Chain A
Amino acid sequence: MIASLALILTCQLVGEVLARLAGLTIPGPVIGLLIFTGLLFAIPALMERVEQVATALLAHLSLLFVPAAVGVIQHLDRLSSAFLPIIASLLVSTLATLVVSALVFRWVARLMDRRTGEKADG
Chain B
Amino acid sequence: MDENFATLWVYLGASPLLWLTVTIAVYALADALSAKAGRHPLANPVLIAAAILGTALVLAGVPYRDYFEGAQFVHFLLGPATVALGLPLVRRWSEVRRRIVPMLAALVAGSVTAVVSTVAVAALLGAPGEIVASLAPKSVTTPIAMGISELIGGIPSLTAVLVIATGMLGAIAVTPVMNLLGITEPDARGFSAGLAAHGIGTARAFQVNPVAGLFAGIAMAFNGAATAIIVPLLLG
Contacts and interface: CB of A to CB of B under 8 A. Distances in A.
A33 B85 CA distance: 7
B38 interface: no
- Say which size band chain B's interface belongs to: 35 or more
Residue of B57, B106, B126, B128 with most partner-chain A CB within 10 A: B106
A92 to B, nearest CB: 5
Contacts of B8: none
B183 interface: yes
Interface string B129-173: 001000100110111100110000001011011111111111001
A11 B80 CA distance: 9
Interface residues of A, number: 76
Contacts, number: 313
A69 B71 contact: no
Given A70-B57, A82-B128, A96 B113 contact: yes
A103 B146 CA distance: 29
Contacts of B99: 105, 109
B109 interface: yes
Interface in A50-76: 50-51, 53-55, 57-75
Given A25-B228, A29-B82, A98 B174 contact: yes
B191 A29 contact: no
Majority SS of interface residues in chain A? helix
B80 A57 contact: yes
Given A90-B162, A99-B177, A104 B106 contact: yes
Interface string B165-193: 11111100110011001010101110111
Contacts of A70: 50, 53-54, 57, 64, 67, 71
B33 interface: no
Interface in A3-26: 5, 8-9, 11-12, 15, 25-26
Interface in B73-88: 74-75, 77-88
15 contacts: A8-B80, A25-B148, A26-B144, A54-B84, A62-B45, A71-B64, A71-B164, A73-B64, A84-B125, A93-B118, A95-B177, A100-B113, A105-B103, A106-B185, A109-B187
